[in-house]
Amino acid sequence: MLETKQLAFSYDEKKGMNFPDFSLQKGEHCLLLGQSGSGKTTLLHLLGGLLSPSQGSIRIGDTELGQLRASALDHFRGKNIGIIFQKSHFVRALTIGENMALAQQLAGLKPDRERIMELLDRLNITEKFRLKPDRLSVGEQQRAAIARALINQAPIILADEPTSALDDHNAEEVIQLLEEQASVLGSTLLVVTHDKRLKDRFPKQITL
Amino acid sequence: MNLLKLSWKNLTNKPLAMLLSLVLFALGVGLISFLFLVNSQINDKFEKNLAGIDLVIGAKGSPLQLILSSMYHIDAPTGNITIKNVMPYLNAKNPYIKMAVPLSLGDSYRGYRIVGTSANLLELYQAKVRTGRSFRDVMEVLAGAGAAEELGLKIGSTFQSSHGLIEDANLVHGGHPFKVVGILKPSGAAIDQLLLTPAQSIWEVHEHAGMGTPAPAVEEEATAVDSLAEEHAEATKQMGTMALTNQEDDHLNEDHEHGKPQMQSIINYPDKEITSLLLQFNGHNIMTLNLQRMINQNTKMQAATPAIEITRLYSLMGVGQDALSWLAFIIMAVSGLSIFISLYSSLSERRYELALMRTMGASPGKLFAMIILEGLLLATLGYGLGLLISHFGMELLAGEMKAAYRYTFTGLTFLPEELYLLFGALGLGFIAAVIPAIQARNTDISKTLAEG
């Protein structure tokens, strides 16, 4: 499902980063570990098509990311990759429900209110549908961010430090939800973290 | 959630941030549109009242004042001229004169000017009688549509004129009621606001005023005038404060009887006076070209060309209008800058959500379009608000202007220029938004998100 080969990236000439080759099966969950500055986030951005590698290739399903043109890549990303960030961000002018609908539309899908409600319900934040994001607590925001990443049933879910801003209770809840929902959808889940609380939960781990 | 709605939500999410831009924009648009409105309506009035008049002859004084008082009825008359002095122009056989219309000004009824004239004034302004008929006899009045409506005059209504052009109960001429015999169709020209009567009516009122009663002792001038009817007539035409009679005298005068004179052409009264004479030439030639200079140099009268005086007036007003236009354009420019600044600063707050939209599949072009739309929305909103301000303001001002000048103005017309103004506003909105939009399009997703 997800496969990298001889991936390398450099912000400038002096400092280059090389990443190990790895591949994930469909539905597989995996933890990507590493110290700060080891290039975890860079790798995640490469996988999400937010950055282009200076060499090497990334294959998602049957698609070679490097061969997609800019707009095709945007479209592909919206449809196939759900990304969750350390701090959840939303379009502040829109309610949670509208943010969900926007995610569907930007991916080229029709807004589906039922699907949104169902997902919010599963994540236990149904009543936040009509609220603006800044009215939610940090834990609720992160759950809403998960809902948004899952809304288009993307085959790949990438999570960048999804728990590091949360307390133990919320962290546990969020990672559990993430795993659960990824399993329900059969999505491949890659969690980038240095959060020790998550170490034991994932059998498959890659260390940078 | 289309792009327009998204842009709209972005704008309304922080209404205060956009308020200054919006208000400035509306002010700029409002001022420009207001200038358009005032300009077009004033030009319109001036043009309508030109009525093909080539020359105005009156007493010496300011030529502009002569034109304004005789053609637009917004200034005081310059003085009087004796009919015998303008006799050559009144002669119907004069080959150079197509039409000559005498005017006797200086009296009014409740602020509406009474104009002593002849029936060909109607021809000059192409005015049509709506109800009743034109005046045929002394003291008969043909009322302009606007004046009739405001004063509540109907066929058969009678009223007493008042001396001077402003309403003053102490200056009412007693014992000489005017009688309305007809009402004109509205024309949009100054004639709408006038009460027309034969020139003889004005003489009638002034020559007989106060005759049965001694004038108040305190008014020395009035006493002197009283003995000489003609001088009296002249004096009454001078805009002034001379009180000829007062209210009590008027009542005493009411029983004063006078024989109704058979109305004859004013040519038969060479020693009487009128205020001015409007002339329309039979084509232009050396004679007509020289006429003005001849009158100005060789007589105690003056002749003024309406077109020249109005051009002079425009150039005088033009300075103020230019200053206002500049002010309006500066406000517009500042509002454009303000839109730019508020969009630009909102971008730095929103850069994370722009990056986020990119990760959700939005193309750079979409972000560009979203920001441009925000600029255009603000511009459209400001435009709408500005037009509302100017038209509402014009409508409010119309009442004041009408009271002051007896001219009707309206805020309820829309001009083609205002459509161009819309394009201008949208152009400004676009220009103000284009740099922030490029900035949004170029958002570095990875870098922005990594900072997050």
Interface test with A, best of B351, B360, B373, B446 (most A CBs within 10 A): B360
Nearest CA in chain B to A86: B452
* Of residues B1, B353, B446, nearest to A50 (C-beta): B446
pLDDT grade, residue B255 (50/70/90)? very low
Nearest to A87, CA basis, from A47, A133, A142, A40? A142
How far is it, in rounded angstroms, from Cα B224 to Cα B221?
5
How far is it, in rounded angstroms, from Cα B117 to Cα A155?
94
DSSP B73: -
Nearest CA in chain B to A49: B359
pLDDT grade, residue B302 (50/70/90)? very high
Question: Tokens 């302004």 appear where?
Answer: B125
Buried b (16+ CB within 10 A) or exposed e, B31-42: bbbbbbbbbebb
Radius of gyration of chain A (CA): 17
B25 burial (CB, 10 Å; 0-12 / 13-18 / 19+) is: buried
Q: What is the mean pLDDT of residues B137-143?
A: 91
SS3 B277: strand
Please tell me the least confidently modeled range out of B213-217, B335-339, B382-386, B419-423.
Answer: B213-217
Is B360 close to A87, i.e. CB distance below 8 A?
no
What is the least distance, in Å, from the CA of B344 to any CA of chain A?
17
Interface test with A, best of B359, B367, B442, B451 (most A CBs within 10 A): B359
- Domain A25-52+69-207 sits in which CATH superfamily? P-loop containing nucleotide triphosphate hydrolases (3.40.50.300)
Is A85 close to B452, i.e. CB distance below 8 A?
yes
Interface test with A, best of B16, B356, B358 (most A CBs within 10 A): B356
Q: Please state the ipTM of this predicted complex.
A: 0.90
A134 touches chain B (CB under 8 A): no
Please tell me the least confidently modeled range out of B144-158, B333-347, B405-419.
Answer: B405-419
> Residue B94: what pLDDT?
83
Give me the average pLDDT of each 10-residue run along chain A (208 residues).
Answer: 86 79 89 83 89 89 87 89 88 93 91 91 89 90 90 91 84 87 90 85 85
- Count CB-CB contacts under 10 A for residue B323: 10
- Write down the H helix ranges in B14-73: 15-50, 63-67
Most distant CA pair in chain A, distance: 51
β partners of residue A206: A32
Contacts of A85 in chain B (CB under 8 A): 449, 452
φ/ψ (deg, to 5) at A21: -75, 140
β partners of residue B158: B179
B81 burial (CB, 10 Å; 0-12 / 13-18 / 19+) is: buried
Q: Are A133 and A92 in contact (CB under 8 A)?
A: yes
Contacts of B361 in chain A (CB under 8 A): 74-75, 77-79, 106-108
Provide, rounded to the nearest whole percent, the portion of chain B with pLDDT above 90: 31
How far is it, in rounded angstroms, from Cα B444 to Cα B452?
12
Q: Are B34 and B252 in contact (CB under 8 A)?
A: no
How far is it, in rounded angstroms, from Cα A48 to Cα A41?
10
Contacts of A81 in chain B (CB under 8 A): 359
Q: Are A182 and A157 in contact (CB under 8 A)?
A: yes
How far is it, in rounded angstroms, from Cα A1 to Cα A187?
10
How far is it, in rounded angstroms, from Cα B428 to Cα B262?
69
> Residue A94: what pLDDT?
93
Domain range summary for chain B, segments of one domain joined by +? 3-46+311-451, 55-304
Contacts of B366 in chain A (CB under 8 A): 106
> Residue B240: what pLDDT?
36
- Output the six-digit token pair for A197: 């609380």
> Residue B357: what pLDDT?
92
> Residue B404: what pLDDT?
66
The angle that helices A113-122 and A96-106 make with each other, rounded to 10 degrees, is 120
Q: Over the stretch B362-386, which tens digit does the pLDDT of each residue have?
A: 999 999 999 999 999 999 999 999 9
CA distance between the termini of chain B: 26
> Residue B204: what pLDDT?
82
Interface test with B, best of A51, A83, A92, A150 (most B CBs within 10 A): A92
φ/ψ (deg, to 5) at B246: -120, 180
> Residue A82: what pLDDT?
92
How far is it, in rounded angstroms, from Cα A167 to Cα A164?
8
> Residue B220: what pLDDT?
39
SS3 A190: strand
φ/ψ (deg, to 5) at A19: -115, 145
φ/ψ (deg, to 5) at B360: -85, 5
> Residue B452: what pLDDT?
61
User: B189 or B403, which is more confident?
Assistant: B189
Interfacial residues of B (vs A; Cβ cutoff 8 Å): 1, 6, 9-10, 12-13, 350, 352-353, 356-366, 445-446, 449-450, 452
Q: Are B77 and B105 in contact (CB under 8 A)?
A: yes
> Residue B218: what pLDDT?
37
**A-B Cβ pairs (cutoff 8 Å, strict):** 80
How far is it, in rounded angstroms, from Cα B236 to Cα B232?
6
Average of per-residue pLDDT values in chain B: 82
Output A61-64 pairs: Cβ under 8 A, ≥24 positions apart: A61/A1, A61/A155
CA angle, A81 then A86 then A90, to 5°: 70
Q: Are B389 and B27 in contact (CB under 8 A)?
A: yes
Is A106 close to B357, i.e. CB distance below 8 A?
yes
pLDDT grade, residue B1 (50/70/90)? low
> Residue B380: what pLDDT?
95
> Residue B209: what pLDDT?
53
Nearest CA in chain B to A103: B360
Nearest to A81, CA basis, from A19, A6, A154? A154
Identity of the highest mean pLDDT range in B243-257, B279-293, B372-386? B372-386
User: Rounded to whole angstroms, what are the CA distances from B34 to A113, B29, B409?
Assistant: 48, 8, 12
* Of residues A75, A93, A105, nearest to B9 (C-beta): A93
Domain range summary for chain A, segments of one domain joined by +? 25-52+69-207
Contacts of A92 in chain B (CB under 8 A): 13, 350, 353
β partners of residue B163: B107
Is A51 close to B12, i.e. CB distance below 8 A?
no
Q: Over the stretch B55-75, which tens digit does the pLDDT of each residue have?
A: 999 999 999 999 989 988 888
